C-alpha cells in the first residue's frame, strides 16, 4: 500500500463519531437534497455525469447482453446508473432478467420510481420496494427499486451477475464491509463495478480542486437550500482511498482482476473486479 494517508474505515460526515451516526448523517443528507439532486448533479458536473454512467454501463456489455442477467445497482439514488445499465442491456434482456436499484434513502428512491413510471408517486407509500422486477406480459423487466442498506443487503448469497455503485460507495460507513457484502451477493465469476470520484493530478488537478472545493459547495448550497451536503462532497472524496489502496481492499474482499480506469483526467474512475 503506497498511500500516505491514514487508513480510513469509511465515510464520516462532520460531527459523526461511529459507523451508525455516519450512516444516519449520510441518509439524512441525501434525503434533504433529493428534490434537487438531479438538477444539481447535471449542473455541477456540466452533464458529464451522463457520459460517465453510460461509459461504465458499456464496460459491462457482455454480462448485460445475457438474457437472464441479474443486476443490482447499489446506492442507486434517483436511478440514473440503473437506467444506464438497463438501456445498455436493451433488447438482450428478457422477462428472466432482473434490474434492481437499492438505496437507503426513501426520498431518493421515490424519485427513481417516479422517473421509471413517468409519474409522481404516492408519498404515503410505506412499502420498502417500488416497481416491478419482471413484467407479467413477458416483456423485458423495468428496474425495481428496493429500500435497503448496502452494508446489510436483503438478498441471498451468490445471486447477482453484476453489482454496481455510482458515486455511492464512497458514502458507506465501512468500505471493507461494503466490498464483502458485494462479494457475498455476487455469484462466482460475477462482476463488480464501482464508479466514484477521484482526485486528478497536475495542473488540471489544481484547477479542478478550486472548482470542487470552492465553487461547487457554494453553488450546491445555494440551489439545494441545504447547508452541509455540498461541503461534505469534496471532504468525502479527499478521504476516499487512492486507487491503489482501493484495489488492494478489493483483492482482500475476494475480487480477482481488480482494476481502475480513470474517467476525464481521473475526476472520476471505474473500479472493476471479478468474484
Ligand X SMILES: C[S@@+](CC[C@H](N)C(=O)[O-])C[C@H]1O[C@@H](n2cnc3c(N)ncnc32)[C@H](O)[C@@H]1O
Q: What Rg value do the Cα atoms of the chain yield, rounded? A: 18
d(CA 97, CA 19): 34
Q: Which is nearer to ligand X, 96 or 151 (CB)?
A: 151
Classified as helix, coil or strand, 16 is: coil
Using CB under 6 A, pick the residue from 113, 160, 167, 197 that binds ligand X: 167
Q: Tell me if 103 contacts ligand X by CB under 6 A.
A: yes
* Cell numbers given for 103: 438505496
Q: Which stretch binds ligand X (CB under 6 A): 63-71, 119-127, 166-174, 205-213?
A: 166-174
Classified as helix, coil or strand, 156 is: coil
Window 12 to 31, contacts with ligand X (CB under 6 A): 23, 26-27, 30
d(CA 78, CA 66): 25
Q: Tell me if 105 contacts ligand X by CB under 6 A.
A: yes
Residues in the chain: 275
Q: Tell me if 108 contacts ligand X by CB under 6 A.
A: yes
d(CA 244, CA 242): 6
Chain residue at closest Cβ approach to ligand X: 77
Window 28 to 87, contacts with ligand X (CB under 6 A): 30, 41, 75-77, 80-81
d(CA 97, CA 90): 11
Q: Which is nearer to ligand X, 78 or 97 (CB)?
A: 78
Q: Tell me if 166 contacts ligand X by CB under 6 A.
A: yes
Residues with Cβ within 8 Å of residue 37, at least 6 apart in sequence:
30, 77, 78, 108, 111
Task: Report which of 50, 135, 55 is spatially closest to residue 93, judged by C-alpha positions.
Answer: 135
Q: Tell me if 150 contacts ligand X by CB under 6 A.
A: yes
- How near is the Cβ of 136 to ligand X at its closest, in Å? 28
Q: Which stretch binds ligand X (CB under 6 A): 147-155, 179-187, 213-221, 243-251?
A: 147-155
- How near is the Cβ of 22 to ligand X at its closest, in Å? 9
* Cell numbers given for 23: 450512516
Q: Tell me if 192 contacts ligand X by CB under 6 A.
A: no
- How near is the Cβ of 53 to ligand X at its closest, in Å? 7
Residues that bind ligand X (CB under 6 A): 23, 26-27, 30, 41, 75-77, 80-81, 103-105, 108, 149-151, 166-168, 171-172
Amino acid at each position: 500500500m503506497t498511500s500516505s494517508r491514514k487508513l480510513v474505515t469509511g465515510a464520516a460526515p462532520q460531527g459523526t463519531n461511529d459507523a451508525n451516526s455516519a450512516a444516519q448523517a449520510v441518509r439524512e443528507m441525501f434525503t434533504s437534497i433529493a428534490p434537487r439532486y438531479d438538477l444539481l448533479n447535471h449542473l455541477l458536473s456540466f452533464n458529464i455525469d451522463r457520459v460517465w454512467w453510460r461509459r461504465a454501463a458499456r464496460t459491462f456489455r457482455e454480462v448485460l447482453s445475457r438474457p437472464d442477467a441479474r443486476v443490482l445497482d447499489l446506492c442507486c439514488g434517483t436511478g440514473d446508473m440503473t437506467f444506464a445499465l438497463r438501456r445498455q442491456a436493451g433488447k438482450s434482456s428478457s422477462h428472466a432478467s432482473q434490474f434492481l436499484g437499492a438505496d437507503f434513502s426513501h426520498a431518493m428512491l421515490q424519485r427513481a420510481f417516479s422517473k421509471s413510471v413517468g409519474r409522481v408517486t404516492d408519498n404515503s407509500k410505506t412499502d420498502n420496494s417500488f416497481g416491478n422486477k419482471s413484467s407479467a406480459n413477458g416483456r423485458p423487466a423495468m428496474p425495481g427499486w428496493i429500500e435497503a442498506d448496502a452494508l446489510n443487503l436483503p438478498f441471498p448469497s451468490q445471486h447477482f451477475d453484476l453489482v454496481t455503485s455510482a458515486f455511492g460507495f464512497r458514502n458507506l460507513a465501512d468500505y471493507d464491509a461494503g466490498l464483502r457484502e458485494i462479494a457475498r451477493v455476487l455469484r462466482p465469476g460475477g462482476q463488480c463495478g464501482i464508479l466514484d470520484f477521484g482526485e486528478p493530478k497536475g495542473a488540471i488537478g489544481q484547477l479542478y480542486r478550486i472548482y470542487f472545493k470552492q465553487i461547487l459547495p457554494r453553488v450546491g448550497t445555494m440551489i439545494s437550500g441545504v447547508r452541509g451536503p455540498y461541503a461534505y462532497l469534496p471532504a468525502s472524496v479527499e478521504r476516499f482511498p487512492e486507487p491503489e489502496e482501493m484495489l488492494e481492499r478489493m483483492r482482500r474482499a475476494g475480487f480477482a482482476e481488480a482494476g481502475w480506469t480513470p474517467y476525464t483526467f481521473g475526476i472520476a474512475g471505474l473500479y472493476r473486479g471479478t468474484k
